[in-house]
Structure 1
Amino acid sequence: MTPPVPDADESLPGPAWWRVLIVALVAVVWALASHHASSSENPPAWGAVLALTPASIALALALWRLPRRWMGVGAIALQAGLLLAGWPWLQTQAALLFLVEQLGVYILLALFFGRSLKGPGESLVTQMARRVHGGVLSPAQLRYTRQVTLAWTLFFLGIALVSLLLFLLVPVAIWSTFANLLAGPLIGLMFVAEFLCRRLVLAGEDQTTIADAVRAWKAHNASNAHKAP
């Protein structure tokens, strides 16, 4: 099948590459800062701020969208009050806060992939593959994309389990090295491994690239955002 031809804007380097570079630099700085804050014997207060900020913003945005605005405002005020009340303890628990945040992300991602395997509907990766292939998939592609959805589900659950066990069983510096410095590259390695596996399993049938997969992921998320009330 002929791969989709990118639009003219997509084929040009420039702003898109700058955005990728900026995101990559921010991710590296964030990982190094998280590792430093988590592995320090005397955790800096900014480490707790770093760990709490993403979850706090996400929760505040969700509360703001409650049907009754006064409920959202009240819940956000309660959230802020709890953070202020617990701050003397929270600022000394950077590693625990990063653990909870990361476990939450990995478990949510596992649920995001895994729940699409239930019932007669198509799996998440199958849905994205249809976008790349113009809506037409062969039986082999259907089987493979469902298996990849399961693989990503198990991968995220495995990352969460390993992180939790390391946090409980080894010095915090070792856990932090895995959780903050190695987990991200492992996700990237999973993308590459799946791409190479697809080339072997679907040889001569699938000519898509990792960039096609990223565009399909963005399109899927955008479609879900439009459907949301």
Structure 2
Amino acid sequence: MDKTRRFSFPLVTKMASWAMPVAVIAYPLVVWCGLKTWGIRILAPVLIAIFILRLLTFRGKLSQLTFFGKAIAVAGIVLVGTSILLRETSMLLYYPVAVNLLLLGLFFSSLRASQTLVERIARLDEPDLPPEGVVYTRRVTQAWCIFFVCNGALALYTCLKGDMALWALYNGGISYLLIGLLMGIEWIVRKRLRHP
């Protein structure tokens, strides 16, 4: 019997593939509400369970994305574990900072590779990407690097400020709106370049 199939739980894996991204995206709101309602003793085990499931079930289309998905799960486990050991809830706030740093590392390191991460993603839909497409994907990768520096710096500011409502508002709302805005702008620019 194949060892990988023996320990396979398709229903759990399928549920986790939908639930985990939602849980990770909702992290700021979960922490904000969880600390107010339950406290760290209940919230911490729930968060660790979510991150462990994320670590065990994450599968990306590219090896770089799989590594990133697992790395942010490990970062979450480390931050929650440190919070428990130090009995300091402020450690939970640094997760969005860690995510931005990891994303910055992922995108920036791909600028030194033969293909940027954005180019590799683009080639999943368009394997024969023209030279101008390669140049464009490099520019988009650079734009995301700048975004993650700025977003990470603002996330860090909200951690250091110590205002939980501001932290939850920025990291659980405004940050995602800015990501959506950048994605929307990129989509419009791409469409105009393809159909001038």
TM range (shorter): 0.5 to 0.7
Q: In terms of Rg, which structure is larger?
A: 1
Aligned to 1:204: 195
Residue 131 of structure 1 and its aligned partner are, at CA, apart by 2.4
Q: Percent identity?
A: 22
Any unmatched runs of 5+ in structure 2? 1-15, 58-76
Aligned to 1:116: 110
Aligned to 1:96: 91
Distance change in 2, residues 1:122/1:170 (3 Å): same
Distance change in 2, residues 1:50/1:154 (3 Å): farther
Any unmatched runs of 5+ in structure 1? 1-18, 62-78, 206-229
Asked if structure 2 preserves the Cα contact closer than 8 Å seen for 1:34 and 1:47, the reply is: yes
User: Residue by residue, what CA displacement relative to the aligned partner does 1:85-134 show, whole Å, maximum 9, x if unpaired?
Assistant: 973743x51x42232x2222221111111101015x1211112222211x
**1: CA distance, partners of 2:164 / 2:146:** 25
Distance change in 2, residues 1:28/1:88 (3 Å): closer
**1: CA distance, partners of 2:139 / 2:153:** 21
**2: CA distance, partners of 1:44 / 1:86:** 9
Aligned to 1:210: none
Q: How does 1:208-227 map to 2 (within 5 A)?
A: none
Asked if structure 2 preserves the Cα contact closer than 8 Å seen for 1:52 and 1:97, the reply is: no
**2: CA distance, partners of 1:48 / 1:160:** 23
**2: CA distance, partners of 1:41 / 1:30:** 15
Asked if structure 2 preserves the Cα contact closer than 8 Å seen for 1:167 and 1:175, the reply is: yes
Counterpart check, 1:128 vs 2:125: no
Cα RMSD for the two superposed structures: 3.9
Q: Name the TM-score, length of structure 2 as normaliser.
A: 0.62
Give 4+ residue runs of structure 1 displaced > 6 Å after superposition: 19-25, 58-61
**1: CA distance, partners of 2:121 / 2:51:** 27
Residue 25 of structure 1 and its aligned partner are, at CA, apart by 6.3
The letter for the 2-side match of 1:102 is: P
Q: How many residues align?
A: 161
Counterpart check, 1:33 vs 2:30: yes
Distance change in 2, residues 1:24/1:109 (3 Å): closer
Asked if structure 1 preserves the Cα contact closer than 8 Å seen for 2:116 and 2:141, the reply is: yes
Q: Name the TM-score, length of structure 1 as normaliser.
A: 0.55
Higher share in helix:
2
Compare relative contact order (CA 8 Å, sep 6+) and give the higher one, 1 or 2: 1
SS at match of 2:128: coil
Aligned to 1:183: 175
The letter for the 1-side match of 2:123 is: R
User: Residue by residue, what CA displacement relative to the aligned partner does 1:1-33 show, whole Å, maximum 9, x if unpaired?
Assistant: xxxxxxxxxxxxxxxxxx998678656765532
**2: CA distance, partners of 1:54 / 1:25:** 11
